[in-house]
Structure 1
């Protein structure tokens, strides 16, 4: 029986050879929830994303995504409803393509455009660029855009496929302070739209978890340390336990900044 849950993972573990990279994961994402996935490098974040996208199969436990239990759905069809924005995609795109064409190619899940572009597609691309604050990139070659601008183009590209879930995989990596803030502001504007898909924002920096992410999951060495409402998770005691070191939590304009306790 199909549920209305966006993600429902129950006691899921995944083994690669003799190594258990994910262990007894439980994670439920309900409609209208936006989640942050917080974990240090090597915590298993990418492996968990690969599981949600159906690129790997659970060794143990149950996984259901967008109401479809694994084993009862064609995972290739399921992936069409999930947008995954990762900076690794930048290297695969054609550097000389115009920004709007990179965005429209997301509708066809292709690298490059091989179909005649319709007026409707151009208008759709323009609307996404406006929402994300990058309309000025129209007609710009992808290679001439900054790292932050490229990330906005990739987000717009993912939205062209009208996904039900959008995964933002460490989108602020490599950005300077000001580019990071502009990108986060664009994500906030995106979330204000009624048509916004469920967002999963992956990071290892607490200060990137802006207020729109109502829930946070802490992942360490393939295990969920804690999950729940962000305001309850981003606390001194919880984060000190998570980082396995005493930390000081400072709040500024509904953002949480963490520094090591000396």
Structure 2
């Protein structure tokens, strides 16, 4: 059986007495590509933080890469999880290749006196090419478009060769060409890293790559449905998730959605 990468069992998150997540059951296996979908405030980013060992469950259990939260050094565990956040707090004008290499030190800025090995530099170059950034490898961070920054952060997250990649709304702020280049890069990653598991947070179905295998729908902190995309991404379930009647279409592996006309 394929190895389990993530497992949540009856996980709850409560803040200031208010439930943020409730009754989350989820199992993600190697090579699966999950989408977390829901309206703003549904708890998607909180769940991603839970799966990325950034948040502890208030109740229930969460296992990441075989380690139960609360019984493992979180700093060490996070080094094996690639987490892509478009709000990356980099302030220095680093070159693309240097930003990618900070994925090895799990730091925003390069560490003093740390130097990558030749093998690590070669890996960075391969990822830069895979993400379609070869012509921008020497470009400075402030000069990058939002889409180029997003792809740089994905390459950075992949530097330590994680078994799990978490993407928190990676298409935020992208125009149409930028979104399509991002989706193409994710498709290439799937081909190059067949054992890599991914979890992508979004509230736009158009942002889902064609290789998405599973989905979980969240509404007001509670899962509505989870499982293979063909079973979960239906007009009825999405309509319940987002609170309005929807018409759903899938063509060439890509989804589109619109408000359904009432009879």
TM-score range, shorter chain: over 0.9
Aligned equivalents of 1:221 and 1:254: distance in 2? 28
Q: Is the deviation greater in 109-118 or in 232-241?
A: 109-118
Aligned pairs for 1:204-219 (under 5 A) are: 204-219=203-218
Work out whether residues 210 and 252 of structure 2, in 8 Å CA contact, stay in contact via their aligned partners in 1: no
In structure 2, what is the Cα distance between the partners aligned to 1:6 and 1:21? 23
CA distance in 1, matches of 2:67, 2:46: 20
TM-score (norm. length: structure 1)? 0.93
Aligned partners of 2:38 and 2:241 also within 8 Å: no
Q: Which runs of 5+ in 1 are unaligned?
A: none
- Greater Cα offset, 75-84 or 107-116: 107-116
Residue 198 of structure 1 is matched in structure 2 by: 197
Runs (4 or more) in structure 1 with deviation over 4 Å come to: none
SS of residue in 1 equivalent to 2:257: strand
Equivalent residue in structure 2 for 1:110, among 104, 107, 127 = 107
Residue 57 of structure 1 deviates from its aligned partner by 2.0
What does the per-residue CA deviation read over 1:182-229, in whole Å, with 9 as the maximum and x for residues that have no partner? 110011101111365211111111112222110001111111010010
1:100 paired residue among 78, 81, 97: 97
The answer as to whether partners of 1:248 and 1:261 remain within 8 angstroms in 2 is: yes
The corresponding residue for 1:10 is 9
Aligned counterpart, 2:77: 78
Equivalence map 1:1-262=2 (5 Å)? 4-89=3-88, 92-113=89-110, 114=112, 115-194=114-193, 197-262=196-261
Classify 1:54/1:138 alpha carbon distance in 2 versus 1 (closer, same or farther; 3 Å): closer
How much has 1:18 moved relative to structure 2? 1.8
Query: 1:190–1:196: 8 Å Cα contact kept in structure 2?
Result: no
Q: 1:71 to 1:116 in 2, by over 3 A?
A: closer
**Bigger Cα displacement from structure 2, 37-46 vs 56-65:** 56-65
List runs of 5+ in structure 2 lacking aligned partners.
Answer: none
Name the SS for the 1:185 alignment partner: helix
| Deviation of 1:179 (Å) | 0.8
Measure the CA separation in 1 of the matches of 2:128 and 2:134. 5
Residue 155 of structure 1: CA displacement?
Answer: 0.5
Root mean square deviation, CA, Å: 1.6
Bigger shift: residues 205-214 or 21-30: 205-214
